[in-house]
Every structure is written in structure tokens, then in C-alpha cells.
Amino acid sequence: METKLRIVTHLPLRGLWRDTGPLTATRVRTLSSSHIRNLLLDGEVQFVVVDVGLKPRWIDLNDCYRFWMDEVQHHMVEPESKVALDQLPGCYGYSASEWQSEDEKTPIVVLELWH
């Protein structure tokens, strides 16, 4: 299958890719809101939103701070929390993990969408 046609088939995500091909990337750790804020204090973060049935959505690096402020922080599901999705705005939330890749210079934060 062509990489640009590849979709997410299950969560948690097992591999990471762009339209141009697969990335050599490894999940490093689960992230909380405070972890992400600390990463953003150090510089830009490459956010990737993944949802079953869709292609990964890579957020433009120039948009990472706005995306965090306007979207992600309001929908974060903290690790080990027992928050019901219907308690979050829009009834959806993100669980976050940090990935490392030799292909990317900035930290990668994968946001798995739950709805």
C-alpha cells in the first residue's frame, strides 16, 4: 500500500509515518500536560494527531503553540486519570506520548484521539 494512503487502524499507535514514507521512530514515554508544557518551553514541538480510520495529521511547527493553547490543553486526558470523555469539551480527548526519531529534529508528541 502507498504510504500516502495508509490510515491508522488501531490505538495505541505502533509506528509513525508521513505521506512520503515511514519514520524510524520509537515511543519513549507517556506524557502529561505538564510534560508537554515543559517541552514547549524548550522550543517547538511536532504534534501529530492520530485517529482510527484517518491518516496521521501533522501539525505545522509554526502552529504548535497555538494548537496547544487553543485545542490540546483543553482536551488532554492525563495518564492514569479516570476522566470520562463526556466530561471534556466536545466529548473527546487526547492521550499523549513522546516519540523520538532520527528523521525529525524537534520532539514529536503523538496525540491519540479518543471519542
Which amino acid is it at 10?
H
Backbone angles phi, psi at 57, to 5 degrees: -105, 110
How much of the chain, in percent, has pLDDT values that exceed 70?
99
What pLDDT does 1 receive? 62
Distance between start and end Cα atoms, the chain: 27
Query: How does DSSP classify residue 76?
Result: B
Under the banding of pLDDT at 50, 70 and 90, the label for residue 105 is confident
Under the banding of pLDDT at 50, 70 and 90, the label for residue 80 is confident
Contact 3, 19 (CB under 8 A): yes
Q: What is the largest CA-CA distance in the chain?
A: 39
* CA angle in degrees (0–180, nearest 5) for 38-41-45: 85
pTM flag (> 0.85): yes
Q: Does the pLDDT at position 49 exceed 90?
A: yes
- What's the whole-number average pLDDT of the chain? 93
Under the banding of pLDDT at 50, 70 and 90, the label for residue 54 is very high
Cα 26 to Cα 39: distance, rounded to the nearest angstrom: 17
Q: Which stretches of 1-115 are DSSP H helices?
A: 33-42, 64-67
Average pLDDT (85-102) is 92
- For the ranges 14-18, 31-35, 81-85, the lowest mean pLDDT is seen at 81-85
Residue appearing with cell numbers 492520530: 50
Backbone angles phi, psi at 112, to 5 degrees: -85, 120
